[in-house]
Amino acid sequence: MGIKNPSLQDALEVLLQRQREHGKPVIDYPISLLQRRLRLGYACAVSLMGELKLLGFVRTISETAVQLTFSPTEQDSP
């Protein structure tokens, strides 16, 4: 049984969708929800969030959640 390895774009779309649903520029996103949405294990989800943090899309990562951060111009991007 292999683990699905989503691209950064897939993960970013999941996070942007959550951000749009809440309508706030900074939100907390539970890692467990990301795991379910992308069918990932914990370590893979945290690793993916680490990559997005390096790109500036994630503000902080804890053991249970990530905090997203988007500027107003990034919110309008597709």
CATH number, domain of 17, equals: 1.10.10
- Could you tell me which residues come within 8 angstroms of residue 59 by beta carbon, excluding any fewer than 6 positions away? 26, 53, 66, 67, 68, 69
Q: Judge whether residue 28 has pLDDT over 80.
A: no
pLDDT mean across residues, the chain: 73
d(CA 11, CA 1): 21
Residue 51 in domain: yes
Query: 53-62 pLDDT, tens per residue?
Result: 887 778 888 8
Residue 39 in domain: yes
Domains in the chain: how many in total? 1
Q: The whole model's pTM is what?
A: 0.64
Q: Judge whether residue 63 has pLDDT over 60.
A: yes
Q: What is the mean pLDDT of the segment spanning 32-54? A: 85
Quick one: pLDDT at residue 75? Answer: 42
Q: Judge whether residue 51 has pLDDT over 70.
A: yes
